[in-house]
Amino acid sequence: MKGNISKYKDNLIEFIKNNRLFFSFVIISIFISLLLRLITINGHFYIKALLSDAFIVILIGLLGYFVNSKNRFKYYFIWICFFSILCIANTVYYQFYKSFISINLLATASMVSKVNDSLFAKFHIIQFIYLIFPIIYILLNKYFNKKRIYENISNKYRIFKYSGVFCLIILIYLIFSFSKSDINKFTKLYNREYVVNKYGLYFYTINDLIQSLTPKIDNYAGYDSAALQYRNFYACKWKNEKKEENEFTNKFKGKNVIFIHAESIQNFLINLEINDKEVTPNLNRLSKEGIYFSKFYPQISIGTSSDTEFTLTTGLMPSSSGTVFVNYYDRKYMGMPEYFNNLGYYTFSTHANDADYWNRKTMHETLGYKDFYAKDYYYVPTDFNDKDYIGLGLSDKSFFKQFIPILKEIKSLHELYFGTVITLSNHSPFKAVDKYGDFDVRNEILDEDYLEGSEMGNYIKSAHYADEALGEFFEELESNNLLDNTIFIIYGDHEARLPKKEFDRLINYDYITGKIDSNDDNYTEITNYDYDLLKNTPLIIWSNDEEFNLEVDDVMGMYDVLPTIANMFGFEEKYSLGHDIFSNNEKIVVFPNGNVLTNKVYYSDLNEEYIAFNDEPISSDYIDNLKEYANNILEVSDGIIKHDLIRYETRIGECNK
């Protein structure tokens, strides 16, 4: 027995020695993908991911035996270079979007190119560590040549026999290990982090490639099931969610409304002071005088600002593939501009950037806006050093000032109007510090830099400038009699994408000692959950006609805005996936990656774990129901977007609940 074991052991060692180039390729390629997961997701270690990578890499490696032995190294080397470049691209992309690259995103490449500064600001040397692997493989090849190892290569039959059996075992294991949840995430790809973390980058890339290259087949094949789910979902929604009246029902009926899209303004800025000076004094005042939603969360995917506009306007979720503004602009949606058009309002949007950026010119028309006042309506200096030019374009102060005459003309021509004003200056990477003003982020007590020169410090300076511009805008509105009979709704469109370490610096810095001491009793560790929950943005509803002095601390998503506004302005909307925040419905925020937030818990779909906000027991059924609810919301929304269901589906479904 011992002799047989020793014989098999010797044969195995000899087999590996005689195929070192192949096995080196396999090991290096698997390690490249493993390193990507460690650098980006930093999640749990899954054997499935390791085996999935091995399955793909071995199959690719076996094809190398059909290549002439003299060119086999070049074949493997090209693949290692490809894997390295793929990981570099995904690592850089992940740092900005917290997701992984998809073929569907090629259509948005032109949009990404316009925020190069934001992307470059996320560059770190660690993102290029993968380049070491092609070098390692070159050195190994030289070593193998020197030792004349290639003269004793095993025959193809043995390598295919052993590797084929191994791949078959892996495939059987993977097939039987797929849960219903895994299959859904693998086919829908709404949580790309989960798929990469659990099944590896290579498996994810091949799956994404297949799905991206067969969109029409997928759309036609999936129409019936998507339409059935859509009909039944809304049958239940219209049956069970009867219109409830509350203190805000018809409250603003007959008033003008202007939404102010505040670029990258996060909620932690509200009431924040540096050196006893308010960072956002104007937002602070508006939040105290108006209705302030302190737990308002963007539900964005890779479309960032455009996702915000879509979800807030229509009450639907962003697309799971590509972006609605670029990939699905030709569908029928029912959004706020359309509803206000039906009420007799003149609807418009305005932004001092190119009309074609994020395809806004076309998409705003799709959403129902009658006019879009874009960059061509404003004077934008060509000199980048001009104080009226910040970051991507016209500064907020100049934009607001130039917009006043446009709004005066709108008021003179229309009795009622609905508008969206999109700001720009507070866009990452927050480097125009010479134009933000003199807001001091140093520690004046110790005369130390503190936040000076940091990402957080630059962001705070930028946000202070944006707030100052907002204050001047309201002063101009008042002096031009444009405040009365108008409701202003100010919302932060998404987080600023600041690293976790920047919040540690802000929250745990001791002004007296000038240090951050993790052993201090007052030290607050910022977990991944805390970091996610810090991504909320302010939502403020303000009127010059009356003060509300109301803070709403229920969790709220952007898909809740449309039904809330519908109740306040007295119209019915049919297709939003959220609820009027003042209704008796449970408050649930579903994120595009499958995470769910309620007043009780925050559930992370990546790790399939949750954190509770109080001592109330959380049952497994409660979590399962949240997961099912989120999955239903995401699938219904995706079906509407991909299959144009609002346009084509007129049948009534059945509600069995």
pLDDT score for 160 = 75
- Residue 609 φ/ψ region, left for φ over 0, alpha for ψ in the -120 to 50 degree band, beta for the rest: beta
Q: Report d(CA 209, CA 53) in Å as an integer.
A: 16
Cα pseudo-dihedral 9, 13, 16, 17, rounded to 10: -160
pLDDT score for 357 = 86
3-state secondary structure of 423: coil
Worst-scoring range by mean pLDDT, 6-10, 319-323, 381-385, 604-608?
6-10
Dig out the tokens for 599 from the structure: 């007043």
Q: Report d(CA 323, CA 130) in Å as an integer.
A: 29
622 pLDDT above the threshold of 70: yes
pLDDT score for 380 = 85
Cis geometry, peptide bond prior to residue 499 (ω within 30 degrees of 0):
no
What's the average model confidence in pLDDT over 305-324? 94
111 pLDDT above the threshold of 90: no
Q: What is the DSSP string of 54-101?
A: HHHHHHHHHHGGGS-GGGHHHHHHHHHHHHHHHHHHHHHHHHHHSS--
pLDDT score for 13 = 61
Task: Please write the tens of the pLDDT for every residue from 412-421.
Answer: 999 999 999 9
Q: Report d(CA 642, CA 23) in Å as an integer.
A: 43
3-state secondary structure of 599: coil
Average pLDDT, the chain: 89
Cα-based distances in Å from 632 to 229, 235, 328, 458, 637: 9, 14, 20, 40, 8
Sign, CA dihedral 551-554-560-563, equals negative
Dig out the tokens for 192 from the structure: 């790309």
Q: What is the DSSP string of 314-331?
A: HSPPPPSSS-HHHHSTTS
657 pLDDT above the threshold of 80: no
**Highest mean pLDDT pick, 38-47, 112-121, 336-345:** 336-345
pLDDT score for 143 = 83
Task: Check: CB of residue 298 under 8 Å from CB of residue 537.
Answer: yes
pLDDT score for 256 = 98
Correct CATH for 250-498+537-574 of 3.40.720.10, 3.40.1280.10, 3.30.2350.10, 3.40.50.150: 3.40.720.10
pLDDT score for 99 = 83
Q: Report d(CA 115, CA 190) in Å as an integer.
A: 24
Task: Check: CB of residue 643 under 8 Å from CB of residue 226.
Answer: yes
Q: Report d(CA 196, CA 204) in Å as an integer.
A: 6
Q: Report d(CA 19, CA 474) in Å as an integer.
A: 73
**Highest mean pLDDT pick, 11-25, 381-395, 513-527, 531-545:** 531-545
pLDDT score for 97 = 76
Q: Which amino acid is at 151?
A: E
What's the average model confidence in pLDDT over 283-304? 96
Q: Report d(CA 292, CA 280) in Å as an integer.
A: 14
8 pLDDT above the threshold of 60: no
pLDDT score for 650 = 85
606 pLDDT above the threshold of 90: no
pLDDT score for 151 = 47
Domain residue spans in the chain?
2-213, 221-241+585-657, 250-498+537-574
Worst-scoring range by mean pLDDT, 1-5, 21-25, 472-476, 649-653?
1-5
Higher model confidence: residue 72 or residue 159?
72
Strands (E), 493-598: 537-543, 550-552, 556-557, 588-590, 596-598
Which residue carries 């195929």 as its tokens?
A: 19
Q: Which amino acid is at 87?
A: C
238 pLDDT above the threshold of 90: no
- In degrees, rounded to 5, the angle at the alpha carbon of residue 281 between the alpha carbons of residues 309 and 598 is 50
Q: Can you name the CATH fold of 221-241+585-657?
A: Arylsulfatase, C-terminal domain (3.30.1120)
Task: Check: CB of residue 559 under 8 Å from CB of residue 576.
Answer: yes
pLDDT score for 19 = 78
pLDDT score for 175 = 80
Model confidence at 593, in pLDDT bands (50, 70, 90)?
very high
pLDDT score for 320 = 86
pLDDT score for 651 = 84
Percentage of the chain beyond pLDDT 90 is 64
What's the average model confidence in pLDDT over 488-499? 96
Cα-based distances in Å from 192 to 327, 406, 535, 639: 18, 43, 20, 18
What's the average model confidence in pLDDT over 444-463? 94
Q: Which amino acid is at 161?
A: K
Task: Check: CB of residue 39 under 8 Å from CB of residue 31.
Answer: no
Task: Please write the tens of the pLDDT for every residue from 139-167.
Answer: 988 887 776 655 455 556 667 767 777 88
Q: Report d(CA 284, CA 292) in Å as an integer.
A: 10
pLDDT score for 185 = 78
- Partners of residue 422 on adjacent β-strands: 261, 351
Q: Strands 486-492, 256-262: parallel, antiparallel or unpaired by DSSP?
A: parallel
